[in-house]
Amino acid sequence: MKESLNGINRTRRCEGVTINIDSNGDGKIDETVNSGASFTAYDYDINSDGTFNILDLIIVSRYFGKSASDNVKADVNKDGTIDILDIKIVIEHFGGIHK
Ligand SMILES: [Ca+2]
Ligand SMILES: [Ca+2]
């Protein structure tokens, strides 16, 4: 398990993420979302245990599609919705630690 984690990109860049959405599968981009947000390490340690791992990912996944009012920490990029952008941020920091 540890070896497989070594292959994960552990970049700590804290810039927004851009996702193109083709909701009807016609090959045309219907919507482009750019969070444009900046983050602190604390923001994506959802369970506040000092590490970024599957437990944080599970929490965000559990609230997928819900609003920030359901779990303010799971809305990692603070855009009001818990969605793929928040999961992406947690994955980008997967395996990291902070103090
Ligand atoms: Ca954590
Ligand atoms: Ca969000």
Each residue's pLDDT tens digit, 45-63? 898 888 889 999 999 999 9
Residue 40 vs residues 5, 22, 26, 90, 93: alpha-carbon distances, Å: 22, 30, 37, 12, 11
Question: 32: part of which helix (H) or strand (E)?
Answer: strand 31-34
- How many whole angstroms from 3 Cα to the centroid of ligand 2? 30
- How many whole angstroms from 92 Cα to the centroid of ligand 2? 15
Structural Rg of the chain based on CA atoms:
14
Q: Which ligand is nearest to the CA of 64?
A: 2
Q: What is the pLDDT of residues 79-93, one digit of tens each?
A: 999 999 999 999 988
Nearest 5°: phi and psi at 3?
A: -60, -40
Nearest to 84 by CA among 67, 70, 68, 65: 65
